[in-house]
């Protein structure tokens, strides 16, 4: 028994389990919370298996140690997609197929510790743990560009997901160097540095998850009520009601909000209302932000166009551009946010009625 490996594995297993336990305690749980919950359990299981293997080796534990790593890449990709509210497809389960192939296939191999079989597993695993973080980084880059184009606030989740992706890539680079060095004497699975890499990844995910509120949100960090922000505002009830009417009238009679570059300044100029007064009324009385308000109006306009016969031939991407969205992904994201459905599914429903 290697005491240092057993100790590190045990610490990592407990840490992964503790992070998993924290997630169900979160008040407002969403789908990505449950994906992260299962992923932490996989980390804990992976490290628990190695811990148990140090005390009692068995063929099943060996196979689990060699194959559970295939799950981390798909979980990372699925979690990242869900964070950014990307559409799920029935074929997404295919990402987990390598784990099942190698797990089941290992039972039919005569010697799972032969150099040929260990390399047969190791090389695809390196690919899986490299490709998915790169895909996640590309997705993050696209989302940042889309949000900048729409003047939306950057999500704090970007940085910690990027950090986790870079740890994946750095650990894979280290693993490939070690693999090339050890190739002449045989490949060793789940040595001390591999375990340290997994424990570090769990630590970083837990730390950044807590820091940015993605694992759970402490009530102490709740946002200050909007009323406090405007407590010294000179606007009275009559002024506010008048501004509300002017805002609604503008969106009814004016289509300049369909311009992707439409801004609060332009709304202020068109309604002859000061920008900070517009912001106050939009935030306090309409319970939304300026760009959320504009995007909701754009989605309402898109729905009206979908219902018109002369726009049936317009592609969904073209529809998004016509309604003021800078890209197809931003259009789809906002459409699902306000309707709960993708533009394609919504269009099918109204076509069948």
Q: What is the mean predicted confidence (pLDDT) over 103-115?
A: 89
- Range among 178-182, 223-227, 305-309 rated most confident: 305-309
> Average pLDDT in the 278-294 region?
87
> What average pLDDT does range 213-240 have in this prediction?
54
Residue 182 in this model has a pLDDT that exceeds 70: no
Sequence ranges of the chain with CATH classification 1.20.1070.10? 3-221
Encode pLDDT of 68-86 as tens digits.
989 999 998 988 888 776 6
Q: Which residues contact 72 (CB under 8 A, 6 or more apart)?
A: 39, 42, 43, 129, 168, 201
205-210 average pLDDT score:
70
Residues spanned by CATH 1.10.10.60 within the chain?
226-352
Please determine, for residue 189, whether its predicted confidence score (pLDDT) is greater than 50: no
Q: Identify the pLDDT of residue 229.
A: 55
Higher model confidence: residue 57 or residue 300? Answer: 300
Please tell me the least confidently modeled range out of 54-58, 69-73, 190-194: 190-194
User: Residue 217 has what pLDDT?
Assistant: 44
pLDDT of residue 204 exceeding 80, the answer is no
Instruction: Please tell me which residue, 94 or 225, carries the higher pLDDT value.
Output: 94
**Residue bearing the bigger pLDDT, 221 or 59:** 59
Is pLDDT larger for residue 327 or for residue 147? 327
- Mean pLDDT of all residues in 78-97: 78
List the CATH code of the domain at 226-352: 1.10.10.60
Hey, which of 41-50, 78-87, 174-183, 326-335 has the most confident mean pLDDT?
41-50
Output the pLDDT for position 3. Answer: 83
**Would you place residue 141 in the very low, low, confident or very high pLDDT band (cuts 50, 70, 90)?**
confident
Longest dimension (CA), the chain: 83
pLDDT at 100 over 90: yes
- Write the CA distances from 173 to 126, 130, 166, 183, 195, integer angstroms: 9, 9, 10, 15, 15
HEC letters along the chain: CCHHHHHHHHHHHHHHHHHHHHHHHCCCCCHHHHHHHHHHHHHHHHHHHHHHHHHCCCHHHHHHHHHHHHHHHHHHHHHHHHHCCCCCCHHHHHHHHHHHHHHHHHCCCCCCCCHHHHHHHHHHHHHHHHHHHHHHHHHHHHHHHHHHHCCCCCCCHHHHHHHHHHHHHHHHHHHHHHHHHHCCCCCCCCCHHHHHHHHHHHHHHHHHHHHCCCCCCCHHHCCCCHHHHCCCCCCCHHHHHHHHHHHHHHHHHCCHHHCCCCCHHHHHHHHCCCHHHHHHHHHHCCCCCHHHHHHHHHHHHHHHHHHCHHHCCCCHHHHHHHCCCCCHHHHHHHHHHHHCCCHHHHHHHHHHC
- What CATH class is the domain 3-221? mainly alpha
Whether pTM exceeds 0.85: no
291-316: average pLDDT: 83
pLDDT confidence band for 183 (50 / 70 / 90): low
Residue 250 binned pLDDT confidence (cut-offs 50, 70, 90) = very high
- Local confidence band at 223 (pLDDT 50, 70, 90 cut-offs): very low
Tens-digit pLDDT profile for residues 260-282: 889 999 999 999 998 888 888 88
pLDDT (mean) for 158-177? 77
To the nearest whole number, what is the mean pLDDT of the chain? 80
Q: Supply the pLDDT for residue 281.
A: 87
């Amino acid at each position: 028994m290697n005491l240092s490996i057993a100790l590190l594995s045990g610490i990592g297993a407990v840490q992964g389990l503790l992070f998993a336990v924290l997630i169900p305690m979160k008040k407002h749980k969403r789908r990505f919370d449950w994906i992260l919950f299962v992923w932490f359990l996989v980390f804990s299981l992976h490290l628990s298996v190695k811990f148990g293997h140090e005390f009692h080796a068995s063929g099943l534990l060996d196979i689990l140690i060699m194959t559970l790593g295939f799950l981390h890449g798909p979980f990372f990709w699925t979690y990242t997609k869900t964070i950014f509210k990307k559409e799920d497809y029935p074929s997404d389960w295919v990402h987990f197929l390598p784990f099942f192939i190698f797990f089941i296939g290992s039972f039919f191999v005569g010697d799972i510790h032969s150099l040929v079989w260990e390399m047969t597993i190791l090389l695809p695993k390196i690919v899986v743990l490299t490709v998915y973080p790169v895909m996640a980084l590309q997705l993050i880059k696209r989302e940042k560009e889309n949000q900048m184009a729409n003047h939306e606030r950057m999500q704090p989740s970007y940085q910690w997901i990027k950090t986790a992706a870079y740890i994946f890539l750095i650990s894979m680079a280290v693993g490939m160097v070690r693999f090339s060095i050890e190739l002449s004497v045989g490949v060793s699975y789940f040595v001390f540095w591999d375990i340290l890499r997994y424990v570090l990844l769990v630590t970083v995910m837990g730390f950044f998850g807590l820091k940015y509120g993605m694992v759970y949100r402490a009530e102490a960090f709740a946002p200050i009520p909007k009323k406090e922000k405007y407590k010294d505002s000179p606007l009275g009830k009559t002024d506010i009601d008048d501004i509300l009417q002017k805002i609604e009238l503008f969106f009814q009679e004016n289509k300049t909000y369909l311009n992707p570059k439409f801004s609060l300044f332009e709304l202020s100029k068109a309604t002859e209302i000061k920008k900070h007064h517009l912001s106050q009324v939009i935030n306090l009385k309409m319970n939304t932000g300026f760009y959320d308000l504009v995007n909701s109006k754009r989605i309402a306009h898109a729905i009206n166009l979908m219902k018109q016969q002369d726009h049936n031939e317009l592609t969904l991407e073209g529809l998004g551009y016509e309604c003021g969205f800078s890209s197809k992904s931003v259009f789809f994201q906002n459409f699902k946010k306000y309707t709960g459905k993708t533009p394609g599914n919504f269009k099918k429903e109204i076509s069948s009625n």
